[in-house]
Amino acid sequence: MAERVFITGMGMITAIGDTVTANYNSLRQQQSGLGFTQYLDTMYQGVLPVAEVKHSSEALSEMAGVPHQPEYTRTTLLGLIAIQEALQQAGITQQLHTTPTGFVNSSTVGGMCDTEKVYFDIIDPEKHGDFLKYIDTLDCADCTQRIADKVGITEAVTTISTACSSSANALMYGARLIKQGVLRRVICGGTEALTRFTLNGFNSLKNVDKQPCRPFDHQRNGLNLGEGAAYLVLESESLVRENGSQVLAELSGYCNSNEAFHPTAPSPEGDGAYAAMSQALAMSGRSLQDVQYVNVHGTATWSNDLSEGKALERLFGDQVPPFSSTKPFTGHTLAAAGAIEAIYSVLAIQHQVVFPNLNFSEKMEELSIMPETRLLEQYPVQTVISNSFGFGGNNASLVISKYEG
Amino acid sequence: MKGKCYIQGAAAITPQHTFEGDLLSSPLVSGAGNMLSIVEPDYKAFIPANSLRRMTRLLKMGLTTALKAIQDSQLSTPGAIVTGTGKGSLQDTERFIKDIRQYEEKALNPTPFIQSTYNAVNGMIAVQQQVTTYNNTFVHRGFSFESALQDSLLLLAEGVSHTLTGAFDEISAEHFYIKSRIGHWKTATVNNAELYHHLSPGTISGEGASFFVLAAAPTVNSYACIAGLKMLYKPSPATLTAALSAFLAEQQLTVDDIDLVLSGRNGDSNFEHYYTHMDASWPSVPQLPFKHLCGEYETAGAFALWLGAHIIRAQQVPQQWYPFQHSFPGRINRILLYNHFFGDQHVFILLEHAVIPGA
């Protein structure tokens, strides 16, 4: 019998807060993190809203406890701040070595946020200087290793990149390592900094809204990008018992499925989303009636919300539970989104709330359902489905359940 | 890592003639300088011409190798696609960075952006083969392929019938130059056939794609069994030695049971000390290097696995690829692969004959 997997620590930083608590407060107060960038060098500075973390990289270095140097990209700094909170919350100080701890990180473009500023110097033989230190940060492994080295993780490190489902897959992979007894504790999540590269990528796909995004609205017109990092500490049931760890929630089910439909678009009937949600729920041993909240992927692109909405209707019939996209708060944080929203799911269970879907006014005519637009309080949330869907047809759903002992 | 799996299909596009023909008679490709490039196969046999035109190099390499491995396995559609890549499609990444500057962020073609995504090859394989199940991509330097392998072992233990597991990386002239600026490559041009005679700072670069179909149980078509996998992050020499003993002990083996060590040494004096240190652990085991064949890159370990699997199945080393070697082992039932990527990610893989005679 495979062990159950528990969440024993969480840490995060997003445009709506530097900590889990700050994020929770902003969600409650319906305080969006969207605005115009202060730190990104782009012609879209005052045109396309983004959800930027409200600190310069210098300030982030200080918060992360590292010198402000090229080796520490914004991607790494965001990750360091989030993971240190997660470790602290889990009460892990000196035990990283006594209990072999793995680290499954995720990233979509690694240190691109900083390397794109110096790339043309890097390839110019006439140019020399400190910027050459950025060469090491070109890939996705760099941020993972710098984070691991700073907090002292030595046992197992790896990095996943499956576009917008990356950190959901990191959580899933960590949980599977625990269930099969490879490791007893794995820290999983992702980190993502805004880049001109990615902003232009999504904009070239005509997927970026000039207004704050409107998930599941008939007039929706694309996503807003965001940045942030989030990590969850996963522990096996036996380790939790041995250490007396405080359990925040159970990661009770998960599924990774692929649309096999199109490089950047989901199938109109939501086949992949349906498969991911239904199989994750089946694994959790919970029924449809047990699900009180779905934190949807809800990017507010035309195709995602249609496809995801269809999948919700197929799965739940006319009993679709309250659902909301929190992307109007945080923007779409790509690799970090799955872990950020997994934490929001845990918060929904801990505080018995459903977070509102901002900016919604008009029902989609293809759907019979509408997102929850109010903050529901004292709502009996026991089980949450959290969705993350991405390019390459990569779909991931997580089921997070209240800890019942 | 517990669990075993069996290699049921394999394919590789590399700087050697690995994609087609007889391994034991294909000549060593050498003398091309410090940046080894793949021998391009005829992609049209695998990908329709209208699709090929839109695809960049890495996507062609990756998809074609994957399709050939599936074909080679004679098995049905795999139950999962798991890959590793250190750099993804460099050509697309470089192009999009330049397009942004050249066109001042306006009216950009999205294709390079889409194809620069690290999981783009996986997505294409899934569409082409209609694999709607598990799909994952690892991007962690010298652990990229090995993490994909570990994930595959988990999947097989969870009941997936067979996985498509592979790796792909390319090198571009621009990226070669970038990495030369942090000392990755030798400054003097060397012939890859003589790589190990030039112990000096840096190595030679390479590229390639290798894919495998892995299953939990052997068949008569199995190449070999992957009996063990161990990854070590920034280990000390002492940790490496202890980890090797533990790794073999898990299999109830000692170094005396190993018939051949496939070593990742690459003539780089900055990191040679790990190989020298480990040589003391297997003083009497025959040893063959492989980086003169493929060059150094994040997922070179996947090529080594491809090579080891073929050696075990053929019970023979492709001797023409080893002009500097005078003797070769006769019986090859167990191969230990040891590789590291610039000193940070170290890997042991144990390969066994699918059915060990007398076992």
Domain count, chain A: 2
Whether B167 contacts chain A with CB within 8 A: no
Residues A142 and A267 in one domain: no
Q: Is A260's CB within 8 Å of B127's CB? A: yes
Say if residues A195 and A109 touch (Cβ distance below 8 Å). Answer: yes
Say yes or no to pLDDT of B2 above 70.
Answer: no
**CB contacts, 8 Å: A139 with chain B:** 86-87, 139, 141
Substitution target in B81, B82, B97 with the highest count of A β-carbons within 10 Å is B97
pLDDT, residue A1, reads: 59
Decide if B132 and A272 are in contact by the 8 Å CB cutoff. yes
The CA distance from B104 to B86, in Å, is 29
Residues A147 and A207 in one domain: yes
pLDDT beyond 60 at B359: no
Taking CB atoms and an 8 Å cutoff, what residues of chain A touch B167?
Answer: none
Are residues A325 and A231 part of one domain?
no
Q: Is B163 on the interface with A (CB under 8 A)?
A: no
| Minimum Cα–Cα distance from A279: chain B residue | B133
pLDDT at B357: 45
Q: How many CB atoms lie within 10 A of CB B196?
A: 17
pLDDT tens-digit readout, B294-325:
999 999 999 999 999 999 999 999 999 999 99
CA distance A262 to A381: 35
Residue numbers in A near B3 (CB within 8 A): 180
Residue A46 lies in a domain: yes
- Quick one: pLDDT at residue B356? 55
Q: Which of A225, A243, A261 is the last residue of a domain?
A: A243
Q: For B178, which of A122, A177, A203 is closest by C-beta distance?
A: A122
**Taking CB atoms and an 8 Å limit, are B147 and A176 in contact across chains?**
no
Q: Does residue A97 have a pLDDT over 80?
A: no
pLDDT at A90 over 70: yes
Answer whether B233 sits within 8 Å of A392, measured CB to CB: no
| ipTM of the complex, rounded to two decimals | 0.98
CA distance B332 to chain A (A): 30
Final residue of a structural domain among A213, A243, A273: A243
CB contact under 8 A, A182 and B2: yes
A248 lies in a domain? no
Query: Is the same domain home to A115 and A215?
Result: yes
CB B140 to CB A204 under 8 A?
Answer: no
Q: Of A182, A211, A243, which closes a domain? A: A243
Residue A294 domain flag:
yes
Give chain B's domains with CATH numbers.
5-215 (3.40.47.10), 225-352 (3.40.47.10)
| B contacts of A177 (beta carbons < 8 Å) | 154
Query: Quick check: A162 contacting B, CB < 8 Å?
Result: yes
Given CB atoms, is B184 within the 8 Å cutoff of chain A? no
| Residues in chain B closer than 8 A to A169 (CB atoms) | 136
A326 and A224 share a domain?
A: no
Separation in Å, CA B263 to CA A5, A126, B267, B305, B311:
38, 38, 11, 11, 14
Of B3, B133, B136, the CB nearest to A162: B136
| Helix residue spans in A29-94 (DSSP H) | 57-64, 74-89
The verdict on a CB contact (< 8 Å) between A158 and B135 is no
Return all residues near A138 (Cβ < 8 A) that are at least 6 apart: A110, A111, A112, A115, B178
| Mean pLDDT value across chain A | 96
Tell me the CATH number at A187. Answer: 3.40.47.10
Rounded to the nearest 5 degrees, what angle is found at the Cα of A167, between the Cα atoms of A161 and A172? 105
Helices of type H across chain B = 49-54, 57-73, 90-102, 111-116, 120-129, 144-157, 173-180, 237-250, 272-279, 291-294, 300-314
Which of 321-340 (A) contact B at CB < 8 A? none
Same domain (yes/no): A159, A196: yes
Spell out the alpha helix ranges (H) of A65-165.
74-89, 95-98, 112-122, 141-151
CA distance B343 to B353: 29
Q: Give the tens place of pLDDT for each residue, A206-256.
A: 999 999 999 999 999 999 999 999 999 999 999 999 999 999 999 999 999
Same domain, A157 and A259: no
Is residue A135 less than 8 Å (CB to CB) from chain B? yes
Nearest to B127 among A122, A159, A261 (CB): A261
Q: What's chain B's average pLDDT?
A: 96
Range of the domain at A239: 5-243
| Residue A195 and residue A107 share a domain | yes
Please check whether residues A232 and A308 belong to one and the same domain: no
Contacts of A258 in chain B (CB under 8 A): 81, 122-123, 126, 131-135
Rounded-to-integer distance, Cα A3 and Cα A9, Å:
18
Across the interface, whether the CB atoms of A392 and B120 are under 8 A apart is answered yes
Contact A258 B133 (CB under 8 A): yes
Chain A contact present for B348, CB below 8 A: no
Phi first, then psi, for residue B33 (nearest 5°) are 105, -165
pLDDT for residue A93:
79
CB within 8 Å of chain A, chain B residues 74-133? 81, 86-88, 96-97, 100-101, 104-106, 108-110, 113-114, 116-120, 122-124, 126-127, 129-133
Distance, CA of A223 to CA of A116 (rounded, Å): 22
**Are A233 and A139 part of one and the same domain?**
yes
* A394–chain B nearest CA distance, Å: 7
Indicate whether A58 belongs to any domain.
yes
- Residue in B with minimal Cα distance to A202: B110
Would residue A26 count as lying in a domain?
Answer: yes
> Which tokens in the block code for residue A332?
């779409």
pLDDT value of residue B358 = 46
Do the chains contact at A200 and B157, CB–CB below 8 Å? no
Question: Is the CB of A260 less than 8 angstroms away from the CB of B130?
Answer: yes
Mind telling me the catalytic residues of A? 164, 297, 332
Contact A391 B110 (CB under 8 A): no
Q: Looking at chain A from residue 205 to 224, which residues have their Cβ under 8 Å from any Cβ of chain B? A: 205
Q: What share of chain B is helix, strand, coil (3-state, %, to 5)?
A: 35, 20, 40
Q: For residue range B259-307, what is the model confidence (pLDDT) as tens digits?
A: 999 999 999 999 999 999 999 999 999 999 999 999 999 999 999 999 9
Q: CB of B344 within 8 Å of any CB in chain A?
A: yes
Contact A257 B134 (CB under 8 A): yes
Tell which wins on pLDDT, A27 or A264. Answer: A27
Partner residue facing A156 (CB), from B106, B113, B231: B231
Q: Tell me how far apart the alpha carbons of residues A148 and A140 are, in angstroms, rounded to a whole number.
A: 13
Same structural domain for residues A221 and A269?
no
Cβ-contact B307, B262 below 8 angstroms: yes
Nearest CA in chain B to A261: B127
pLDDT score for B268 = 98
Q: How confident is the model at residue A266 (pLDDT cuts 50, 70, 90)?
A: confident
Residues B114-127: what's their mean pLDDT? 96
Closest CA to A193 of A25, A81, A295: A81
Compare all CA atoms of chain B with the CA of A394 and give the residue at the minimum distance: B135
* Mean pLDDT for the stretch of residues B226-230: 97
* A394 CB within 8 Å of a chain B CB: yes
Task: Name the one residue in this structure whose structure tokens are 């900094």.
Answer: A193
3-state secondary structure of B164: strand
Exposure pattern of B327-347 as b/e (b: 16+ CB <10 Å)? Answer: eebeebbbbbbbbbbbebbbb
Please name the helix (run of DSSP H) or strand (run of DSSP E) that holds residue B288, with its range, or none. Answer: strand B287-289
Do A207 and A264 belong to one domain? no
Give the pLDDT of residue A72. 97
**What is the least distance, in Å, from the CA of A197 to any CA of chain B?**
7
Are B134 and A154 in contact (CB < 8 Å)?
no
Element (H, E) at B209: strand B208-215
The count of CB pairs under 8 A between chains A and B is 176
Q: Which residues pair with residue B214 across a beta bridge?
A: B7, B163
Is A373 exposed, middle or buried (CB count within 10 Å of its CB: 0-12, 13-18, 19+)?
middle
* From A177, A197, A257, residue closest to B97, measured CB to CB: A197
Does A211 map to a domain? yes
Distance CA A83, CA A71 (A): 18
